[in-house]
A and B are shown apart, each in its own frame.
Chain A
């Protein structure tokens, strides 16, 4: 056989390259996308956002990328997830209300299915169509039926908790109505969990496996890492439980002050910012016995451990991408899905003696001794006082549309980010922006229709110009953001914020705030600024009409005003009975009684 000549080989190689380069070159330039969602993590819980909690791995991403201080999610879990995966407003994508709380007047209506409806396209679906691998691990919370699970909504590979929360150790559910939590792996419903399961660890292991298994084809990937952590119950391996022993005995006020000071030093929060009021029903820690501070502080110790353990596993994923040479070509997105959790979910589910779920909790969730906190069968959340710490300096927390419910930390790093490493951006951003932004990154666009069905319009805007460093915000003064969940509603336009909340967290009336002067929403300007109020209410009306908002006839907060103490102002130093410096007689005037 005649040997091929060098010239012939060279010609063939040249011919191959002449055809292939445009495709390979284009695909090689497209970055991987790793989106890390921390469930219920607060604005101020990362070291790079002023926290004492040690998060070196997420902070390293912040140092290499950009931190955002005006990034908005929704006020609760599934609505946020629905928007980040569709870019469409909740009232159109099926999460007009959470499945758990859909009101009677919303039942059966489009946009209020409680699951991601079939009229929207998903980010993984479109990225997959654009040549991306699409992987998911962690919490879904957007539907459990076979046509609603991640495998049916665009993810090639998944290891998914379909419920909104769960044990980190096993499948034991919180309610006897559904004794086992539901998981899928690659579209199949799991009968049991893997050996050595711990949610945060297993999710990370699975994602690393997905990435490695399909890496050979050179396609970029979209990795949606939707961690349960640090959502309650605070289940933690023992090694992670005692890293802050006694550190929080000083109480929530002191920790909030320390975090605010650090935030101002870092440039996260403007100098001169004051803390939001301590919620009126939360005591000042100075009046608590040391034991009360210790036991309540231990809850925060556990939460800090949850965040640090999460950070550890984020670091494992980042390190793995470095080890396989994918780090430099990966965009990392890190954020919390809503405000920190201040509501006692366990009490809500199982707090009534004599009820079915109380009995269920007695059998499965009654490890209440502090030394058992973190074990299977324990259910610890940290309560509203520490949720406020997590949301420093803002007001309120998850479930509410005050800043503490909807504003969160966001870190973005990677090849698409052309802004200075370690910089801070104060532009107005929204979770619905991810869809157009990431489609841009992938070199594709949002279609008008799919399979003959028209798609609803995107609610968000692409961050392309912002990431390129051309503008600080992609929103103009005329653009506005709006929220509605459980009847709580808000609008933000520029520095102005309009909000309506159930009493007593709100007033049951429209409130108006100037967030530039008052980012922690202490001063309601509704009475002083009637014209601005009217203009903002008009924006709300526009939003509600455009997105077919139907205010719920029932909701989780409808009786709260009868449950909580009457709301009173938080005036520093009041009452003097507690805060006035106590009289101490002068030593030189003291004497023993005369006989």
Chain B
């Protein structure tokens, strides 16, 4: 290894900022979302989703509209930064959903069509590691990093400022505060050598929802807390190419409108994700996810394709690349 090759290793570590390849659709983030990187690293994700189902993908409570069929094209942009909190690694991020959705709902033999477009509710995210290696404050730390068994504490908060029309059920913004708390876990299985890394990852989380007091013309929409468990088995195929098997389980989240309660969710979904590091700055992820359905009309049905590009950088690495005229 020549004396400068460590810079390439470190640059590759910026890929962890690709963690922001999140999507509210199916309320699931891909595997490798909560890997940690060099303190000071930055990331800008751009995520496209094409989704269909009987629930509004912009709504993380996954309120089901029986006999409905929605099509959504959703994009998300954001910004994330790695920093240290004491000796622990931490991340702060903001992500802004946008896009359009249209759908038909059939009720009593009549079909109603709705559509919406615009910006959704921006979400703030904060995560701090509580179990696992200390923050990677310098490049030697990056070189020696192995997650082992790592656990973070996570808090998300969505700001209810997205596009909202109280006259229709289908909206981009949700017109209420909501968020989640969770504990992302990364469990390293075997060697931590690019090309051979394997992880088992979990994200147990609880979504909490405020009331929407202007739902469909002034009604009150309440949603119970929803428990979500995401699981990913990820594995490198080569140093730059990896894949994951994804599973999600949702339960709870029973919605009521003016006190009339609906059904609580209890669904399982799964998917596949492939990731590729295009270069030291750019990561590509593609995936497909779907709920595992029964024939019940009240059960959540969604599926979707996702493509994400995440641009990551660190001033130190960029400086080194300038010196090397890369």
A-contact bits for B222-246, CB 8 A (1 contact / 0 none): 0000000000000000010000000
Q: How far is the CB of B15 from chain A (nearest CB, A)?
A: 14
Of the listed stretches A19-27, A62-70, A363-371, A532-540, chain B binds A363-371
B-contact bits for A226-250, CB 8 A (1 contact / 0 none): 0000000000000000000110010
Q: Across the interface, which residues of B come within 8 angstroms of A370, CB to CB?
A: 1, 9, 143
Q: Taking the complex as formed, is A290 at the interface, i.e. its CB lies under 8 A from any CB of chain B?
A: yes
Which one of B9, B10, B239 has the highest number of Cβ atoms from chain A below 10 Å of its Cβ? B9
Within 8 A of A (CB), among B5-30: 5-7, 9-10
Query: How many chain A residues have a CB neighbour from B under 8 Å?
Result: 19
Q: How far is the CB of A293 from chain B (nearest CB, A)?
A: 8
Could you say which of A246, A296, A367, A375 contacts B3, with CB atoms under 8 Å apart?
A296
Across chains A and B, the number of contacting residue pairs, with CB separation under 8 Å, is 51
Could you say which of B1, B6, B140, B195 contacts A249, with CB atoms under 8 Å apart?
B140
Question: Which A residue's beta carbon lies closest to that of B4?
Answer: A292
Q: How far is the CB of B36 from chain A (nearest CB, A)?
A: 15
Q: A290 to B194: give the CA distance in the assembly, Å.
A: 22
B-contact bits for A270-296, CB 8 A (1 contact / 0 none): 000000000000000000011111111
> A369-B9, A370-B143 given as contacts; is B3 within 8 A of A292 (CB)?
yes
Are B144 and A294 in contact, CB atoms less than 8 angstroms apart?
A: yes
Could you say which of A295, A367, A372 contacts B143, with CB atoms under 8 Å apart?
A295
Q: How far is the CB of A121 from chain B (nearest CB, A)?
A: 46
Q: How far is the CB of A594 from chain B (nearest CB, A)?
A: 33
Are B191 and A375 in contact, CB atoms less than 8 angstroms apart?
A: yes
Q: Taking the complex as formed, is B192 at the interface, i.e. its CB lies under 8 A from any CB of chain A?
A: yes
Q: Across the interface, which residues of A come within 8 angstroms of B138, CB to CB?
A: 290-291
Q: How far is the CB of A97 from chain B (nearest CB, A)?
A: 31
Are B191 and A295 in contact, CB atoms less than 8 angstroms apart?
A: no
Could you say which of B7, B139, B144, B193 contacts A369, with CB atoms under 8 Å apart?
B193
Q: A294 to B138: give the CA distance in the assembly, Å.
A: 11
Q: Taking the complex as formed, is B146 at the interface, i.e. its CB lies under 8 A from any CB of chain A?
A: yes
Are A292 and B1 in contact, CB atoms less than 8 angstroms apart?
A: no
> A291-B6, A292-B3 given as contacts; is B193 within 8 A of A367 (CB)?
yes
Are A289 and B139 in contact, CB atoms less than 8 angstroms apart?
A: yes
Q: Across the interface, which residues of A come within 8 angstroms of B1, CB to CB?
A: 295, 368, 370
Within 8 A of B (CB), among A352-380: 367-372, 375
Are B10 and A291 in contact, CB atoms less than 8 angstroms apart?
A: yes
Are A290 and B3 in contact, CB atoms less than 8 angstroms apart?
A: no
Question: Which B residue's beta carbon lies closest to that of A380?
Answer: B1
Q: Across the interface, which residues of A come within 8 angstroms of B239, CB to CB?
A: 369
B-contact bits for A284-323, CB 8 A (1 contact / 0 none): 0000011111111010000000000000000000000000
Q: How far is the CB of B316 from chain A (nearest CB, A)?
A: 10
Q: A375 to B190: give the CA distance in the assembly, Å.
A: 13
Q: Across the interface, which residues of A come within 8 angstroms of B196, CB to CB?
A: 372
Are B140 and A246 in contact, CB atoms less than 8 angstroms apart?
A: yes
Are A294 and B143 in contact, CB atoms less than 8 angstroms apart?
A: yes
Question: Which B residue's beta carbon lies closest to that of A293?
Answer: B140
> A291-B10, A292-B6 given as contacts; is B140 within 8 A of A371 (CB)?
no
The 9 tightest CB contacts between A and B, nearest first, are A294-B140, A291-B139, A372-B193, A371-B193, A295-B6, A291-B6, A371-B192, A369-B193, A290-B140
* A-B contacts besides A368-B1, A370-B1, A371-B146, 9 pairs, CB < 8 Å: A246-B140, A249-B140, A291-B140, A293-B140, A294-B140, A295-B143, A369-B9, A369-B195, A372-B193
Residues of A within 8 A of B (CB): 245-246, 249, 289-296, 298, 367-372, 375
Residues of B within 8 A of A (CB): 1, 3, 5-7, 9-10, 138-140, 143-144, 146, 191-196, 239
